[in-house]
Structure 1
Amino acid sequence: MKNTNSKWLYLIVLALIWGSSFILIKKALLGLSPYQLGALRTIITGVFLFIVGFKSIKSIKNNEWKWVILSGFLGSFFPAFLFAVAETEIDSAVTSILNSLVPLNTVLFGFSIFKIASTRRQVLGVIIGFIGTSILILKGAELNPNQNYLFSGYIIIATCMYALNVNIIKKHLQHVKPLSIATGNYIAIIIPAIIVLCFTDFFNENTYTHPDFKMSLVYIVILSLFGTALAKVLFNTLVQISTPVFASSVTYLMPLVALVWGLLDGEGFSSTQALGSFIILVGVYLSHKRKR
């Protein structure tokens, strides 16, 4: 009974944290460029994980490091920049809904690349999810002509990277501790992130004098510590006390949280977009539904 109550608590807390990440990115972009945001998010998260889990990397075998490094770039490094760039043009609520394509792409790549068998129901879910995504993007472009919905492509690319990362972990890093994987990921990507930050104008005096700079730093620290580092630990715990299927259901709740934040921040959202969002979630549900 205790685990039953705990798993629901973890699920709700995760949905609130991850669902709030998109509005934090939007607010951080007021005083930072997308490349500064992506680099700082990686650096701050990396420092935190080093402090917490540096000793855990001893458990990673030499032949596993190539997969840990690849996992770091696909699952953390590139998506941090892709989401930041995308939110310079499209609303945070729409971004969160497009992020729901991760489970669908996981099924798709698992079948096509990693030869992990998929059911007809899962394939149907992928097709339905694609239809919902098309509706969401096309209607969004019509509703917000001042926004460049081609930037949705950055989110779709990021979800593909997340999906590849999940399959890599499942196939090649199944027996490595989650904290070891996360810490190893950031050992691989923190130096590239520092290099990217050096090539931006972050160390320019004009950056520090921007009126939104200090608050942007506050948002990025919150995003890094809670939305990335802490959320990884909570998610791993949720998987341990429940099942991967139950844990993945956080995907259904995240867009609801992000949508509320977006509406509170004045973002527009039409009934047709709501329909497209619902269709995406139906596709995600079907792709994860198991036969009894």
Structure 2
Amino acid sequence: MDNSKLKYVYLVILSLIWGTSFILIKKTLGDDGSGNLVMQPLQVGAGRTIVSGFILIAIGWKSFTSVSRKDWKWLFLSGLLGTFFPAFLFAYAQTEIDSAISAILNSTVPLITLIMGSVIFGIAFSRTQLLGVIIGLAGAVALVFSGMENNPEQNYMFAGLVFIACTCYASNVNIIKRYLQNIKPLAIATGNFVFILPLAIIVFFSADGASLEFTSEPVMRSIGFIVILSIFGTVAAKIMFNKLVQITSPVFASSVTYLMPVVGLTWGTMDGETFSIWQGLSTVVIILAVVLVTRDKKKPASK
């Protein structure tokens, strides 16, 4: 299959996988029946990274050994921004806000990618894309405020953690496109975890991960969700996403967030999460903005 068709296959598959990741993070945090978390955010983020790291290094070590040492710093930075920090940020965010809201806010990645690509990497943008950024940011703000009214018991200040994670993702997309374009997707993913796996192990034990009751049913259930999240949401998805970035543009690759809100909302609603009409309208505004931002640019705006 040629790249012009393959990119859409990757886009749909990644949207389904990552759209499901938010409900999996929620299930991984769990509830012990008395309102307490089964696993803490640091344990979830570190555990996910550890499982993914061992899998990727086992299957991709040979590909990593062919990577030049001069590219190691970019692999390390890509690993931190594309996986390590977001794993903790989303876990912490979802201790206070619904998984569906996280999925929707994550759709601002193309907007942030465009802004960073323009400001930091000098990538040209069109007036239509600029309009999309403005509309998207307005939609994101409206979503947060409508969520605060609809779910007053939730602390929407934690939505800021999602925006920080989105900025990390946007930075990673531009780094892959600019500095890791000629490295195989599996080698990029493996290299990321070669460098961040030791950090994740340190965090896991520092967060009392060893004290978890691994034989208890709630913990076993959370670990099961971590394994699913790691295999599909991290290992398989990262390899596909790295390839998508290489055969398209950073903005197109980040438009994987097109379908993610729909998938995330579906799972969240099925899990009993509430969603207001104003949140729905805000979601439509964000998706419209993403459509504008990811349109092919014809006349770049002067900078």
Output the CA distance in 2 between the equivalents of 1:4 and 1:60.
27
SS at the partner of 1:212?
helix
Does the CA contact (< 8 Å) of 2:110 and 2:255 recur in 1? no
Q: Which residue of the partner structure matches residue 222 of structure 2?
A: 216
Q: Which residue of the partner structure matches residue 49 of structure 1?
A: 56
Output the CA distance in 1 between the equivalents of 2:116 and 2:196.
24
Does the CA contact (< 8 Å) of 2:51 and 2:230 recur in 1? yes
Quick one: structure 1 residues 110 and 239, their matched pair in 2 at CA, closer, same or farther if it must change by over 3 Å?
A: closer
Deviations 1:62-114 (A, max 9, x none): 22111111111111100000000000000000000100111110110111111
Question: TM-score normalized by structure 2?
Answer: 0.89
Does 2:123 match 1:116? yes
The one-letter code matched in structure 1 to 2:195 is A
Output the CA distance in 2 between the equivalents of 1:232 and 1:200.
26
Output the CA distance in 2 between the equivalents of 1:48 and 1:253.
27
**1:235, distance to aligned residue in structure 2 (A):** 3.5
Percent identical pairs in the alignment equals 54
Does 2:232 match 1:226? yes
Quick one: structure 1 residues 282 and 180, their matched pair in 2 at CA, closer, same or farther if it must change by over 3 Å?
A: same
SS at the partner of 1:208?
coil
Q: Which residue of the partner structure matches residue 175 of structure 2?
A: 168
Deviations 1:227-283 (A, max 9, x none): 11011233355567x745765443111110110000000001011001111111111
SS at the partner of 1:282?
helix
1:20-39 mapped onto 2 (5 Å cutoff): 20-30=20-30, 31-39=38-46
Q: Which residue of the partner structure matches residue 17 of structure 2?
A: 17
Deviations 1:114-167 (A, max 9, x none): 122222122111111100000000010111111000000000000001111111
Q: How many residues align?
A: 290
Output the CA distance in 1 between the equivalents of 2:6 and 2:124.
32
Q: Which residue of the partner structure matches residue 286 of structure 1?
A: 292
The one-letter code matched in structure 2 to 1:147 is Q
Quick one: structure 1 residues 17 and 5, their matched pair in 2 at CA, closer, same or farther if it must change by over 3 Å?
A: same
1:151-162 mapped onto 2 (5 Å cutoff): 151-162=158-169
Does the CA contact (< 8 Å) of 2:42 and 2:204 recur in 1? yes
Q: Which residue of the partner structure matches residue 101 of structure 2?
A: 94
Question: TM-score normalized by structure 1?
Answer: 0.92
Which consecutive residues of structure 2, in runs of 5 or more, have no partner in the other structure? 31-37, 299-303
Q: Which residue of the partner structure matches residue 75 of structure 2?
A: 68
1:73-84 mapped onto 2 (5 Å cutoff): 73-84=80-91
Does 2:281 match 1:261? no
Q: Which residue of the partner structure matches residue 112 of structure 2?
A: 105
The one-letter code matched in structure 2 to 1:217 is I
The one-letter code matched in structure 2 to 1:83 is F
The one-letter code matched in structure 2 to 1:225 is I
The one-letter code matched in structure 2 to 1:146 is E
SS at the partner of 2:39?
coil
Output the CA distance in 1 between the equivalents of 2:230 and 2:256.
19
Q: Which residue of the partner structure matches residue 34 of structure 2?
A: none
Output the CA distance in 1 between the equivalents of 2:242 and 2:218.
34
Does the CA contact (< 8 Å) of 2:252 and 2:294 recur in 1? no
